[in-house]
Amino acid sequence: MALGYDGKLYILAFDHRGSFQKKMFGIEGDPTPEETERISDAKRLIFEGMLEAVNRGAEAGATGVLVDEQFGSDIPERAREHGLKLSMPVEKSGQNEFDFQYGEKFGEHIEKFDPDFAKVLVRYNSDDPDTEMNERQLRRLKELADWLHAHDRKFLFELLVPATDEQLASVDGDSDRYDAELRPELMRRAIEDAQNAGIEVDVWKIEGVDEQSDAAMLAEQARSGNGREGVTCVLLGRGASTEKVEQWLREAAPVEGFIGFAIGRSIWWDALKGYLADELERSAAASQIAENYLHFVRVYDQQAVH
């Protein structure tokens, strides 16, 4: 199976687990069965928003969901029934260092749910002083990539590049300056490090950049080397404001190699909060999620090269 992915991909991401239960529900530690059901029902509401988006014209073949096994309930099965692209996470939630959620049994869980994409979230900075952690992460990621491609499965790699203390100090502690001045090249280097370690990725899920030239640089790096001509990129939302996400989408959409987005909290957080606070009816919350999702699709499509 050729490396990469051909076609548009607009993913609604709600595979959040540890951060979701803490920040949305205030639940620490392992949730009780009752708490698990509350969290799962919230995710079903998000999915209802996606189904409404499909009913309102979202293209099913390009429309996807990223949802977890822990709280996802029957959503993976329902996504398949509706012809949506299904992505599911492999990583242990809330860890600074990538590791498998289900240890050596990761393959069994992937085969059980049969997602279109197996996804990882990885925090990786080439200049991290903990070089041994970086090496461990790369070894595990190569194990996963090799297994996926040996089983004709697609690999969706979500890359976050947290600043080192030294890097942040070099921009006077200004995270916006870090994002604009340092992060793009650090992202490129992280992709290159993974490639040099033999980790083959089909779709890179990456943080937005403010300059189109930086988006082009990242797409070029993702495709550099033999056999990577079909590798593509999607943007993540990072929980940013609508205006910021719009800016990132507009910069990346015209760039060859970008095929869409995988956005989560920026789409559903406020609507879900409103529902849980009894400020929104369930149908109204789902409708708001649908509209937010469709809005970002329109923003992207208006700039994309067709």
**Which region holds residue 180: left if phi is over 0, alpha if psi is between -120 and 50, else beta?**
alpha
167-189 pLDDT tens trace: 999 999 999 999 999 999 999 99
Amino acid making up residue 228 = R
Q: How far, in Å, CA of 113 to CA of 107, rounded?
A: 10
Residue 87 lies in domain: 9-303
Residue 4 in any domain: the answer is: no
The helix (run of H) or strand (run of E) holding residue 126 is none
* 15 pLDDT higher than 80: yes
Q: How far, in Å, CA of 229 to CA of 166, rounded?
A: 35
The beta-strand segments (E) located in the chain are 9-14, 63-67, 85-89, 117-123, 154-160, 203-207, 232-236, 258-263
- CATH number where 185 lies: 3.20.20.70
94-134 pLDDT tens trace: 889 999 987 888 999 999 999 999 999 999 999 999 999 99
Contact (Cβ atoms closer than 8 angstroms) between residue 240 and residue 199: no
Residue 49 in any domain: the answer is: yes
Indicate the number of domains in the chain: 1
Residue 36 in any domain: the answer is: yes
Residue 186 in any domain: the answer is: yes
Bridge pairing between strands 85-89 and 258-263: unpaired
Residue 106 in any domain: the answer is: yes
Mean pLDDT of all residues in 211-237: 96
Output the six-digit token pair for 166: 């030294």
30-69 pLDDT tens trace: 899 999 999 999 999 999 999 999 999 998 789 999 999 9
Residue 262 in any domain: the answer is: yes
pTM above 0.75, yes or no: yes
